[in-house]
Structure 1
Amino acid sequence: MQIIPPDQVQKGFTILIDSIGDLVLDCPEAPDLLAMFIARAVVDDVLPPAIAHRVPSNPAPSQALKHKLEQQLSARHGAEKVLRCWGSGAGLEYQETKEAIRRLLQEFAVSRDAEEAARCLRSLHVPFFYHEAVKQAILMAMEASSANPGLMQALIDLLARHAESGEVSLGPLSKGLNRVAEQLDDLCLDNPAARTQHTKVMEVRVLG
């Protein structure tokens, strides 16, 4: 069953392309992100490859979008890379991305360097997967709630910083929090104190 006609899909992408100058005002990475969306749509046969030729060369944001899109579509093994774009940034597979997030949080637990943690998260190029970072940070804070309350607060402050700066938007933030809440029954099977720990963390969170 066809939900959205192909011409309407193309029209939607065309509107985004025409709006790139406004989009970069709120999201400087808009050309890169939109280029990835379009490239994935082309690889999935949602859009025709000719869509790249419809991107104007001016002004600068359009030029950046056009260059990035053409680069992704023409690169050697470009299709394979684009097919992995939603779950594995920086060439990582799903489980590797989760492990990379775990490592950066462990490093933060030792260094308490929020800037470095933010840089490492950005370097993964998975803003659509930031809910996993939220989930892992909350779980780590829960584990630290009794033995290391200072670490618990540091992790909550880290999430609050990302939320206030907009680096982690409301969607991934809410999804990460909900994922933990939905898993509490299972968590309690291995850790009877999980629900109490979760309550304690939620009481001190400063996530708005």
Structure 2
Amino acid sequence: MAAEVEAWNCAAQRDGVFPVGKELDQEVESVYDEELIDSEVNGNWTPQEKALHEARLKAKAKRRPRKSSSSRDSTRDSLSENVGDVPDPHSPKGRTQTNDRKSRMGKGRGLPKKGGAGGKGVWGAAGLVYEMEEPDCKDPNYDESSQGDTVYATVVPELEEGELEKVMNPIIQEYFEHGDTKEVEMLLKDLNLGPRQCMFPSLAVCVSLECKASQRELTSRLLSDLIAKQVLNEGDMTTAFNHTLAQLPELILDTPEAPQMLGQFIARAIADHALPMDFLDQYKGKVDCEHARAALDRASVLLSMKREIVRLDNVWGVGGGQRPVKLLIKEMNLLLKEYLVSGELLEADHCLRDLEVPHFHHELVYEAVLMVLESNGDAVIQSMVKLLQSFWESGLITLDQMNRGFQRVYEELPEISLDVPHAQSILETFVDVCHQHSVITKQLRDACPSSRGRKRFVSEGDGGIIKI
């Protein structure tokens, strides 16, 4: 029977009835099963055929969950048809998506996954340290300004020659008010003067020529500090004084003493090592301007006189609060006596301002009240009230200085009364007149000691019988 089945299969295969391969095996098995079933019905099964039939049934049952060969063949055929469309796996654009760990959902940073280490809420294995992520310029969230290697520098435009005086003059005037050289240094560092930074010392000297001696002293200190802090160098200072010497013919029109003052500036700068020691030597026999020659001669004389002194600290004199108190008191007494003789308020105002001691103006008030107490007649009272009123209205004497001057008189009144018996009554009159002219406040007037006794009241029981 097996020979008949094999012969029949070979004939069918030649005729093209059955397919080759696995399809032929399945057809042979089906035909063979049908013959076995017919043999079973006829009762012709041998034990070997029956065992073979059961084995085939078990093998067939195991193959049922698998896909059919036809579906696998169709998949293989579809892949073979698209072979021409498959990109090159070695090209970056044609790289296959298989096992690609980059997210295709538009989320995430494109970093590799944690590799399965850790559990829920844990990223990566224990002890794993990630390196710093390099910024990607193609990242949509890439911000060039937030990167660490970006450095921004403030660029200050260089000042033009026409703007120098407008910018520097307020700095110099403010320095004369506060006297702080560090603030000037900070302001100059913020400016971009460029090659014109030598103009600042020249402008400072020219401005101070029209000011007081104390302000010229501040200017000399400023030039010395600028050299010490290396804001300026000796070359800048030399250029500045050369420029100032060339301007002397114009400076003497407003300040006739400009040559002598400039000579003192040069001598002080050389002593402070702001100018080189050979500054005067370069002008020997080369100066045609008589004003410049006078300034250089003045500097040479000062340096020869003060050769043993390192710094010419007193070249501008001693002014302001540095003078002795007795000298200031003497100057204020002379000021008041000259005013009583001449009666010129402007001259008295000018003399008081020249003393440059606003913190000591209470002494002037004290001396003025003492002169009133020691005088005879109302003329002195009216003159002093007029003077104090002028100082008060101009703001030269402040409220605090005025109050301190009168309070000092109140405290010393018992001692003053020993020399001036009628001092208390004169003081009351003077205080009332000052209050009428708004020179002092009502509180200060009420604080004045009174020569009259305390007023007694009927309730105290010593007033006798009440008269009706």
The code of the aligned residue for 1:54 comes to: M
* 2:321 matched residue in structure 1: 86
Is 1:164–2:308 an aligned residue pair? no
* 2:402 matched residue in structure 1: 173
In structure 1, distance between residues paired with 2:418 and 2:404: 22
In structure 2, distance between residues paired with 1:94 and 1:194: 26
Q: State TM-score, norm by structure 1.
A: 0.63
Aligned pairs for 1:66-85 within 5 A = 69=218, 71-72=220-221, 74=224, 76-78=311-313, 85=320
Aligned pairs for 1:28-177 within 5 A = 31-35=175-179, 38=180, 53-56=185-188, 69=218, 71-72=220-221, 74=224, 76-78=311-313, 85-86=320-321, 88=323, 93-144=324-375, 147-177=376-406
CA contact (8 A) 1:162 1:168 kept: yes
In structure 1, distance between residues paired with 2:364 and 2:336: 8
Q: List per-residue Cα deviations over 1:3-22 (Å, max 9, x = no partner).
A: xxxxxxxxxxxxxxxxxxxx
Question: How many positions carry a matched residue from both structures?
Answer: 157
In structure 1, distance between residues paired with 2:343 and 2:405: 21
Residue identity (%): 28
In structure 1, distance between residues paired with 2:373 and 2:188: 50
CA contact (8 A) 2:362 2:404 kept: yes
CA contact (8 A) 1:52 1:70 kept: no
In structure 2, distance between residues paired with 1:175 and 1:96: 20
Shift of 1:182: 1.4
Q: CA RMSD in A?
A: 3.1
Q: List per-residue Cα deviations over 1:92-128 (Å, max 9, x = no partner).
A: x211110010001001111111111111111111111
CA contact (8 A) 1:87 1:129 kept: no
The code of the aligned residue for 2:178 comes to: L
Unaligned runs of at least 5 residues, structure 1? 1-23, 39-48
Shift of 1:33: 3.6
In structure 1, distance between residues paired with 2:422 and 2:174: 43
CA contact (8 A) 1:135 1:179 kept: yes
Q: List per-residue Cα deviations over 1:117-160 (Å, max 9, x = no partner).
A: 1111111111111111111111112223xx22112111111001
In structure 2, distance between residues paired with 1:83 and 1:119: 18
Is 1:196–2:430 an aligned residue pair? no
Instruction: Report which structure shows greater RCO (CA 8 Å, sep ≥6).
Output: 1
CA contact (8 A) 1:72 1:82 kept: no
CA contact (8 A) 1:87 1:126 kept: no
In structure 2, distance between residues paired with 1:84 and 1:117: 18
Shift of 1:53: 2.2
SS of corresponding position for 2:421? coil
| Residues 70 and 185 (structure 1), Cα distance of their counterparts in 2 relative to 1, 3 Å cut | same
CA contact (8 A) 2:319 2:355 kept: no
In our comparison, the structure showing a higher alpha carbon Rg is 2
In structure 1, distance between residues paired with 2:352 and 2:368: 12
In structure 2, distance between residues paired with 1:77 and 1:181: 45
Shift of 1:30: 5.8
Unaligned runs of at least 5 residues, structure 2? 1-169, 192-202, 209-214, 225-267, 269-310, 441-468
